[in-house]
Amino acid sequence: MDTDLKPCPCCGAPAELNEWGYVICPECGLSSAIKETVEESIAAWNRRAE
């Protein structure tokens, strides 16, 4: 599974995949939308980070 996460677009901190399957920034609390799959959550986060 591709879990290559881009840094937070808000503060630049490394993002984390949490236990509910979405991406969140531990520094500022920014999170991805909750998607049906982990892959979609990661893709959504990475799009936002670009």
Binding site for Zn ion (CB under 5 A): 8, 10-11, 13, 25, 27-28, 30
Cβ proximity to Zn ion, 6 vs 36, nearer residue: 6
Cα–Cα–Cα angle for 6, 7, 9, rounded to 5 degrees: 105
Q: How far is the CB of 7 from Zn ion (least distance, A)?
A: 8
Cβ proximity to Zn ion, 36 vs 49, nearer residue: 49
Q: Which residue has the tokens 């969140």?
A: 24
Cα–Cα–Cα angle for 21, 4, 15, rounded to 5 degrees: 60
Q: How far is the CB of 4 from Zn ion (least distance, A)?
A: 17
